[in-house]
Chain A
Amino acid sequence: MSQAMAAMPTAAAPPRRRASETGDRIFEMLCRGAGILVLLLLGAIIAGLFIGGWDAFRTFGLGFVTSTEWDPVQEVFGAGVSVYGTLLTAVLAIILAVPMAFGVAFFLTELAPAWLRRPVGTAVELLAAIPSIIFGMWGFFVIVPIMAQYVQPAVIDTAGELPLVGLLFQGPPFGTGLFTAALILAIMILPFIAATMRDVFEQVPPVYKESAYGLGATTWEVMRGVVIPHTRISVVGGIMLGLGRALGETMAVTFVIGNANRITPSLFAPGNTIASLVALEFGESELGSLKLSALLALGFILFVISFVVLALSRWLLRSRLRA
């Protein structure tokens, strides 16, 4: 097209327009190139982890995902324990964090006086900004002693005596372990879930709420009967976003989970997660070793799990994202 224009025998205007067209084309190419770079980046991360873990996948087959052995001396590796730890701590963290996040969002949207909303909202968001390693240190030096001295002995002596349920709360009170890791994770993802809930609660048209109040509903009834049904899907999306964060959290978990490679029914027992295992064992694995390959394969599994969760979260939040 530009050639045809150049061929046209007009005076000053066409060359100038052509110059700007070139600039436009270069700029658009730059922008699109950067976009494609991001696409390639994700592809390269997936491919890189898979290729790196290929040795382990080939050696142990599909059993790698479920095998609970992790023996660097015999060179037998399995992802079972860390996959179990990852899923258990993340789900437990969600169970602990969701009611609290709902409470915070309820307070910030319906209960707090207007002058209090901004400072409290900012404080909750600042909690999200604190680096993961700080949560780890705080958890290890503050929460773990509290768990070991007060919480765990009390729970083990009471709930631990119950039939069946008691199995969840047995063993010595180390303070560290799966439950403590889940608790720290819950505190870390609380602000993310609370912020999403607050944002979607605020999008409920005031007319809906006013009509419910007009019928004589209490604040809680407006919440339960109007706000939650109206925002249900986005709320689940926010919860999935929190789950995605909890799955891959590394430093905080490494400090408090106790790092043991076995599965016991007790929630107070030490365990590990994919991220904590990789962080701890990486330094002791040589280049080209089967162990390094197994760690990269673990990374690939973690990526697949978080990809599914995050993609689901985005799909559920799509109406909010479009707005």
Chain B
Amino acid sequence: MSATTIPGPRKDPAAAARLGARRRRADLLLRGFGFAATLLGLVFLVSILATLFWLGLGALNLTVFTKVTAPPGSEGGLLNAIVGSLVQVGIGTAVGTPIGMLVGTYLAEYARGSALGNAVRFVSDILLSAPSILIGLFVYQIMVVPFGGFSGWAGSVALAIIVIPIVVRTTEDMLSLVPNTLREAVIGLGAPKWKMVTLVCWRAAMSGIITGILLALARVAGETAPLLFTSLGNNGWNIDLARPYPSLPLAIYAYAGSPYEDWIALAWTGALIITLGVLGLNILARSVFRQK
């Protein structure tokens, strides 16, 4: 084996074997890395869930759902926070969904390729990933300052603004999967375009749109930052939306940062409830979509 020969399969079997071994080693190394990275990602997920069950199941009993939040030491629950979350998430989704569906419809059915459509699509995608804390600051300025105080309405509006771009994205994606022959058939029967959209396209895309709504619900159910500046939280029973409004994420935030053992335990229970709810909605959304 002299230095002048070029290493290659036929000329030098030893060099070829070495090269092959090195390539196989690199391949094995990177395969191992891919496997390890995936395993690590799953370990994080399992660790979070295990921590939630470990620390959250202890304080999980009926009083969590039947009593309102109370001072440390006295038996308190999370009833007002859970109800407050449900109300605000419900209103936010109910307001945001129709707007989001109309925008998605505009993008898919009316504005393909138009400049205004592209601008709306761009802005909606920016809103989809924009920091939610900024939406809280914005709603603080347009609703809390002018109307003289933190309120459940402001919290609901902040959540609605977060819902809109999620529903826009799924509505447009799902409508663009509806085959054009279907549209042509409806128009060919003499139906006006709005009937084509509402009675045929929406119906054809329904399971996808419902998936989007469920994902939006799951996303806003856990949102904390935008509520800090809008509904503020409330330690008492309150269903008057014009006043500071309780919610589960805010109660968790307040309790987890407190020095009291029983409050921290209750925060973990709240965290367990909210995570199970959010993951449940996600899995439900997936199964709705897969059924189609």
Does B53 have its Cβ within 8 Å of any Cβ on chain A?
A: no
CA A112 to CA B286, docked complex, whole Å: 21
Is A133 touching B271 in the complex (CB atoms < 8 A)? yes
**Per-position 1/0 for A36-63, Cβ under 8 A of B:** 1111011011001100100000000000
Rounded to whole Å, the gap between the CB of B150 and the closest CB of chain A is 11
18 A-B contact pairs sorted by A residue (CB < 8 Å)? A20-B194, A31-B110, A33-B102, A38-B127, A39-B119, A101-B37, A103-B36, A103-B38, A112-B38, A122-B286, A126-B279, A130-B279, A131-B221, A131-B224, A131-B249, A131-B275, A134-B271, A142-B51
**Per-position 1/0 for B100-125, Cβ under 8 A of A:** 00110111011100001101101111
Does A28 have its Cβ within 8 Å of any Cβ on chain B?
A: yes
Is A27 touching B193 in the complex (CB atoms < 8 A)? yes
Chain A contacts for B38, CB-based, 8 A: 103-104, 107-108, 112, 120, 124
Known: A20-B192, A100-B37, A218-B27. Is A39-B120 also a contact (CB below 8 A)? yes
A-B interface contact total, Cβ < 8 Å: 261
Does A140 have its Cβ within 8 Å of any Cβ on chain B?
A: yes
Rounded to whole Å, the gap between the CB of B193 and the closest CB of chain A is 5
Chain B residue at minimum C-beta to C-beta distance from A30: B102
Chain A residue at minimum C-beta to C-beta distance from B117: A35
Nearest 10 CB-CB pairings of A with B: A248-B131, A131-B222, A103-B37, A20-B192, A27-B194, A31-B106, A34-B102, A218-B27, A106-B34, A107-B34
Does B253 have its Cβ within 8 Å of any Cβ on chain A?
A: yes
CA A32 to CA B229, docked complex, whole Å: 31
Does B159 have its Cβ within 8 Å of any Cβ on chain A?
A: no
Chain A residue at minimum C-beta to C-beta distance from B198: A27
CA A307 to CA B134, docked complex, whole Å: 12
Among A149-157, A205-213, A262-270, A295-303, the one that faces the other chain is: A295-303
Chain B residue at minimum C-beta to C-beta distance from A303: B134
Rounded to whole Å, the gap between the CB of B261 and the closest CB of chain A is 13
**Per-position 1/0 for B160-199, Cβ under 8 A of A:** 0100110010000000000000000000000111110110
CA A39 to CA B99, docked complex, whole Å: 13
Does B57 have its Cβ within 8 Å of any Cβ on chain A?
A: no
**Residue positions of B touching A, CB distance < 8 A:** 23-24, 26-27, 29-31, 33-38, 40-42, 44-45, 47-48, 51-52, 55, 99, 102-103, 105-107, 109-111, 116-117, 119-120, 122-127, 129-135, 137-138, 141-142, 145, 161, 164-165, 168, 191-195, 197-198, 218-219, 221-225, 228-229, 249, 252-253, 256, 267-268, 271, 274-275, 278-279, 282-283, 286
Does A93 have its Cβ within 8 Å of any Cβ on chain B?
A: no
Does A132 have its Cβ within 8 Å of any Cβ on chain B?
A: yes
CA A111 to CA B37, docked complex, whole Å: 12
- Which of A35, A39, A191 is the most central at the interface, judged by chain B CB atoms within 10 Å of its CB? A35
Chain A residue at minimum C-beta to C-beta distance from B268: A137
**Residue positions of A touching B, CB distance < 8 A:** 20-21, 23-24, 26-28, 30-39, 41-42, 44-45, 48-49, 52, 99-104, 106-108, 110-112, 120, 122-127, 129-138, 140-142, 187, 190-191, 194, 218-221, 223, 241, 244-245, 247-251, 255, 275, 278-279, 282-283, 287, 295-296, 299, 302-303, 306-307, 310-311, 313-314
Chain B contacts for A44, CB-based, 8 A: 138, 142
CA A24 to CA B197, docked complex, whole Å: 10
Is B109 touching A279 in the complex (CB atoms < 8 A)? no
Is B141 touching A129 in the complex (CB atoms < 8 A)? no
User: Is chain B's binding surface mostly helix, strand, loop or mixed?
Assistant: helix
CA A99 to CA B24, docked complex, whole Å: 21
Known: A27-B197, A131-B224. Is A34-B134 also a contact (CB below 8 A)? no
Is A106 touching B47 in the complex (CB atoms < 8 A)? no
Rounded to whole Å, the gap between the CB of B43 and the closest CB of chain A is 10
Chain A contacts for B256, CB-based, 8 A: 133, 136-137, 140, 255
Chain A contacts for B252, CB-based, 8 A: 133, 137
Chain B contacts for A191, CB-based, 8 A: 41
Is B34 touching A49 in the complex (CB atoms < 8 A)? no
Rounded to whole Å, the gap between the CB of A231 and the closest CB of chain B is 16
Rounded to whole Å, the gap between the CB of A252 and the closest CB of chain B is 10
Is A42 touching B137 in the complex (CB atoms < 8 A)? no
Chain A contacts for B103, CB-based, 8 A: 31, 34-35, 37-38
Is B278 touching A129 in the complex (CB atoms < 8 A)? yes
Chain A contacts for B119, CB-based, 8 A: 39
Is B127 touching A41 in the complex (CB atoms < 8 A)? yes
Is A24 touching B41 in the complex (CB atoms < 8 A)? no
When the two chains form the complex, which single residue of A26, A100, A108, A275 contacts B225, counting CB atoms closer than 8 Å?
A275
Known: A120-B38, A133-B222. Is A23-B126 also a contact (CB below 8 A)? no
Chain A residue at minimum C-beta to C-beta distance from B282: A129
CA A298 to CA B124, docked complex, whole Å: 23
Is B33 touching A130 in the complex (CB atoms < 8 A)? no
Chain A residue at minimum C-beta to C-beta distance from B135: A45
CA A42 to CA B134, docked complex, whole Å: 11
When the two chains form the complex, which single residue of B35, B45, B106, B126 contacts A123, counting CB atoms closer than 8 Å?
B45
Chain A residue at minimum C-beta to C-beta distance from B127: A42
Is A251 touching B127 in the complex (CB atoms < 8 A)? no
When the two chains form the complex, which single residue of A38, A219, A278, A303 contacts B164, counting CB atoms closer than 8 Å?
A38
Is A299 touching B249 in the complex (CB atoms < 8 A)? no
Is A132 touching B34 in the complex (CB atoms < 8 A)? no
CA A35 to CA B212, docked complex, whole Å: 18
Chain A contacts for B137, CB-based, 8 A: 48-49, 52, 278, 295-296, 299
CA A69 to CA B258, docked complex, whole Å: 28
